[in-house]
Amino acid sequence: MPICNICNHKWSWLQTAKKMMTWSPEMSCPYCEEKQYQSKKSKVKAPFLSLLILLPFLIQAFFDVSGAVLLSLIPVLAVIIFLLYPFLVELSNKEEYPFQ
């Protein structure tokens, strides 16, 4: 879970998930209300977790599994990604861009 760089409080999973659901890159700490941003390192790790959504296609390439089973895996994997994502979030005091 992310830890505020100002007050050093650890955010809960629910607080992190709520903050991640906004379009704004800044997130205010629920404890000290200071602006925090997702770190560069955290932004780079996130797309790798999203690659799990492609797992059914990999399974289909190696095993004879019906299309219905594979399609039913996609929403399950999407929920797993949503549940794991807050654990990968790290915070920074300033906005950092991953590919600069």
Q: In the block, which residue shows the tokens 């700490």?
A: 29
> What digits encode the pLDDT tens for the residues 15-45?
888 887 777 778 888 888 888 888 888 888 8
Sheet holding 26-28, edge to edge: 26-28, 35-38, 91-92
Total domains, the chain: 1
Calculate the average pLDDT of the chain.
83
Residue 100: inside a domain: no
Please give the model's pTM, rounded to 2 decimal places: 0.71
Residue 1: inside a domain: no
> What digits encode the pLDDT tens for the residues 47-64?
888 888 888 888 888 888
* pLDDT (0 to 100) of residue 86: 87
pLDDT exceeds 80 at position 97: no
Residue 8: inside a domain: no
Domain that holds residue 18: 13-92
Alpha carbons 24 and 60: distance in angstroms, whole number: 38
Question: CA–CA distance from 61 to each of 37, 39, 50 (Å)?
Answer: 39, 36, 19
Question: CA–CA distance from 47 to each of 29, 31, 54, 98 (Å)?
Answer: 24, 28, 12, 11
Q: pLDDT-derived band of residue 99, with 50, 70 and 90 as boundaries?
A: low
Residue 7: inside a domain: no
Residue 98: inside a domain: no
Q: Which pair of structure tokens corresponds to residue 91?
A: 């915070």
Residue 34: inside a domain: yes
